[in-house]
Structure 1
């Protein structure tokens, strides 16, 4: 092929994930996290999504926009392998790829056509806020679901099987911000933290650390010990507070 292929976004996603750290590494693991796909002109036509309401789930094809300028390597270090072993990039789901394209199946919660705007409400997405979408396709259960498929490196979901506990301060903030955001914030935090976003090399050390993730306009401070995942603090992110 003599000339490069050129794609342009057909949509962007508005999600509660404001930074890469904390996003589940696969879709469908934090099912309570909702997002909105906003179609962009000239694709924001009700005709373009006619019939899509018959789908329970859809595929989102997107660009790893936060990794576009990071380049790629034939070998990567998947977190699933502890961050030490190397694997071929095409045997992984690393975002650092020759063409930084990702795909995620998400649940279609609804379609809204408001004037000249078209929105798809989805859940279970694992996309950073403002990620560009390059295509949307219906999920076909009879061909897209392959129960007999195998991948020995990741035979099952790897999640923390620990209770999530909230300090008294965090619990009070949780109730306040859940009402303000009109989101099931406790369930969202629990699902995201059980996916264990910690760097792989931290999981192998006994040293206890405090981590922070951003969900919506919040900073959430948490740590892991042998008994539980402890959320110690929930505050509005200062940058978002200044914009309010």
Structure 2
């Protein structure tokens, strides 16, 4: 049986050693053993959290279930059409106001364009989901994308964005107006609802954001705890996009 926590700890230690050694060489800083251990522990916990998410699919599959049928029936993320990017957005929320926002952007080849994870202050899960979409559209605009498909598992928010003038939730309405205004600068912007199972990478990024004290952003190389979720979508690990 695979010792995922041990593997995660080992991966965390390797990355932490590389980071701290790089700092000592290029920035002339001394290596801190305590900082390295703390960083490795954090990465191990993130890795373990990711594994627990991936195990959900494995544990509900009967032992005698046809594996080929399982692969065909699984709900995986799908690549966008040529010349489009998909922006996957998700939020985690803990009462009364703590939220985590996760954004993943990939191109029509399934390659990672960029991603972000950041804590936020939101009064409800609906507000957090809407704010995640706002952040996703903003990141798309900031990185000079023109044609995007916004995906979220927040069905109500996506429905509100599709139907102009709909005001079902007064708490999210001001955020939706900001989203529409921001999206107007894009050449084309589509809104699509997807099930949670197909939005795992953004969901995991949102969970990471809940444990961070500030925003995280990356280009082609995501945090180690996200690479396995990306691979679970049928993508290379780690995913790399050509410049």
| TM-score, length basis structure 2 | 0.25
Specify which structure has the higher proportion of helix.
2
Higher relative contact order (CA 8 A, sep 6+): 1
Specify which structure has the higher proportion of strand.
1
| TM-score, length basis structure 1 | 0.25
